[in-house]
Amino acid sequence: MNNNAIRFACNGCGVCCKGRLIPLTLSETRQWLLRGHDVAVLLEAFDESTWAAQPGEYAHSAKRAVEVVSGRAPVRVVAVMAANALGQCPNLGADDRCGIYDQRPLVCRIYPMEINPFIALRPENKACAPQVWETGEVLFTDRIVDPLLHDQVERSRQADRDDAEAKIAVCEDLGLNVAAWKGNALAVYLPAHATLLAAINRYDAGQHSPTAAAWKVRADDDTLRAQLDALGVALAEQNQADYIFHRV
């Protein structure tokens, strides 16, 4: 099939390396921290009701999350470790070239393609200039055509699944126990890089604190709070300040 054929030829402008958080695998997180750079931790919670009409999307998301108990309710929590490039990536040179090109994270290799199979690739939503979509190889039709890109996307999805338990264990060890409700907001933590690295090292050495955390969900919308409360979910205070509550 060749419907929706999308060509792409990166022009190396470096715009995608600025003003964003860059999701990392756990292995990449270790490397990023060891280079001395900061990594944010994003926490989202959900349950089956989040995708009542899309069981396939729920199944995809559930595999990259861990079931925990919040109050009286089982919920799933997904932790995303993301390099802080809100100004610009610390590896981006003055010439807009990547300083760790051979070791750059998977998402940098995959961009601007989507990793989530339920999110359609839309060039207008990407940082790339319009003209880069008019030349180059066909990368995408009804599926990813380029075999290298396909492999990288699969590796990224597999890492999300493989790392899920470890990332939640690291969060519990650090006391990062408030997640935002998926689709409503993100709870964004900005731990000191040495603190996060130490927690990952404790996990790697089997010396973390695996005690069950008192998971809470932060929701500011009154209707959502009432829904979660009815489910028995433990709701977080709305004025807690050790994370950024980023509405989406």
Residues that bind ligand SF4 (CB under 6 A): 10-17, 22, 85, 89, 91-92, 98, 100, 104-105, 108, 111-112, 127-128, 132
Q: Minimum Å distance from CB 144 to ligand SF4? A: 15
Of the candidates 175, 187, 199, the one whose C-alpha atom is nearest the C-alpha of residue 238 is: 187
When the beta carbons of 116 and 227 are compared against ligand SF4, the nearer one is 116
Task: Please give the helix or strand (H or E) that residue 245 lies within, else none.
Answer: strand 244-247
Q: Are 137 and 149 in contact (CB under 8 A)?
A: no
- What is the 8-class DSSP label of residue 233? P
- The SS3 assignment for 156 reads helix
Q: Give alpha helix (H) positions in 186-241.
A: 193-204, 222-231
Of the candidates 248, 174, 187, 194, the one whose C-alpha atom is nearest the C-alpha of residue 218 is: 187
Amino acid letter, residue 199? A
Q: Minimum Å distance from CB 243 to ligand SF4? A: 23
Beta strands in 47-156 (DSSP E): 66-70, 73-88, 137-140
Q: Minimum Å distance from CB 228 to ligand SF4? A: 35
When the beta carbons of 42 and 228 are compared against ligand SF4, the nearer one is 42
When the beta carbons of 12 and 56 are compared against ligand SF4, the nearer one is 12
Q: Minimum Å distance from CB 22 to ligand SF4? A: 5
Q: Minimum Å distance from CB 117 to ligand SF4? A: 20
Q: Minimum Å distance from CB 208 to ligand SF4? A: 28
When the beta carbons of 43 and 85 are compared against ligand SF4, the nearer one is 85
Contacts of residue 242, defined as CB under 8 A and 6 or more positions apart, other chains included, come to 189
When the beta carbons of 110 and 198 are compared against ligand SF4, the nearer one is 110
When the beta carbons of 18 and 60 are compared against ligand SF4, the nearer one is 18
Helices (H) and strands (E) in the chain, counts: 6, 10
136: left (phi over 0), alpha (psi -120 to 50) or beta: left
